[in-house]
Amino acid sequence: MGKRASDLRTMRLEKRLTQEEVAKKFKVSQSYYSAIERGQKPGEITGALKVVSDMRKRTDRTDGGAKKAGREKG
């Protein structure tokens, strides 16, 4: 796995997003997105990193920042 692909996976996991959530936003199938993360398929990694980052920022704003601050219930 390339450095950029591993960065993508790490960021997605830190943001608590599924491959399916990111793939949908990136307009690719989950299986294709998974292959991008593994470095097995070409993909615009920089764009995907931005998508992942932007997705979590929006979620943090809508839940009052509870997840980001570790105050999430459940």
pLDDT at residue 37 tops 70: yes
pLDDT at 3: 67
pLDDT at residue 48 tops 90: no
Whole-Å CA distances, 66 to 29, 63, 74: 30, 6, 12
Q: What angle do CA 48, 19, 54 make, to 5 degrees?
A: 40
CA distance 9 to 38: 8
Assign 44 a pLDDT band (cuts: 50, 70, 90): low
Assign 18 a pLDDT band (cuts: 50, 70, 90): very high
Listed ranges 15-19, 37-41, 42-46, 54-58; the one with the highest mean pLDDT: 15-19
